[in-house]
């Protein structure tokens, strides 16, 4: 995922190395998603870096995501090697949850 400029300072200086280690040493170049993105992969996602993506046939780009969406938190168990579709779906889920929370808070504020 491209890092948004306003978030760049929140990443550790050695983020590139961390990201590489997670994606290629730990994940072996394969998406680590086992359904947390909201899609049912029937187990672990089959997408592999640079190989055609199993669902859309496009070359897979593996990215490193933060499960809690906090770039500062680079503990191994907070990081996941995800293909772009899984990463997007996981983040979209988060955005929906946040939007719902904001709406609920607004409703409470006017009540
Ligand atoms: Zn995936
Ligand atoms: Zn997935």
Report which bound ligand comes closest to the CA of 35. 2
Boundaries of domain holding 91: 12-110
Ligand 1 center–CA 90 separation, angstroms: 10
Residue-wise pLDDT tens digits, 33-76? 999 999 999 999 999 999 999 999 999 999 999 999 999 999 99
Ligand 1 center–CA 84 separation, angstroms: 7
- Read off the pLDDT of each residue in 4-11 and give the average, rounded to a whole number: 84
Ligand 1 center–CA 39 separation, angstroms: 9
Q: Is the dihedral of CA 56, 74, 78, 98 positive or negative?
A: negative
pLDDT value of residue 1 = 57
Q: What CA–CA distances, in Å, run from 1 to 43, 47, 54, 95?
A: 23, 16, 19, 15
Task: Give yes or no for a contact between 66 and 73, defined as CB atoms under 8 angstroms apart.
Answer: yes
The answer to whether residue 95 sits within a structural domain is yes
Count of domains forming the chain: 1
The answer to whether residue 16 sits within a structural domain is yes
Give the length of the chain.
111
The answer to whether residue 48 sits within a structural domain is yes
The answer to whether residue 2 sits within a structural domain is no
Report which bound ligand comes closest to the CA of 34. 2
Ligand 1 center–CA 37 separation, angstroms: 8
Residue 110 has pLDDT above 80, yes or no: no
Burial class (CB in 10 A: 0-12, 13-18, 19+), 37: buried
Ligand 2 center–CA 104 separation, angstroms: 28
Ligand 2 center–CA 12 separation, angstroms: 26
The answer to whether residue 99 sits within a structural domain is yes
Helices and strands (H and E) in the chain: how many: 2, 2
Report which bound ligand comes closest to the CA of 42. 2
pLDDT value of residue 8 = 82
More confident residue, 96 or 31: 31
pLDDT value of residue 23 = 98
Residue-wise pLDDT tens digits, 53-63? 999 999 999 99
């Amino acid at each position: 995922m491209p890092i948004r400029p306003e978030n760049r300072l929140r990443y550790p200086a050695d983020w590139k190395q961390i990201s590489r280690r997670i994606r290629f040493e730990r994940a072996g170049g394969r998406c680590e998603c086992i359904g947390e993105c909201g899609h049912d992969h029937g187990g672990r996602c089959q997408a592999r870096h640079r190989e055609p993506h199993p669902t859309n046939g496009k070359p897979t780009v593996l990215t490193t995501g933060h499960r809690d969406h906090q770039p500062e938190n680079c503990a191994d168990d907070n990081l996941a090697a995800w293909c772009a579709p899984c990463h997007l779906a996981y983040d979209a889920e988060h955005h929906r949850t946040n939007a719902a929370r904001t709406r609920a808070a607004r409703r409470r504020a006017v009540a």
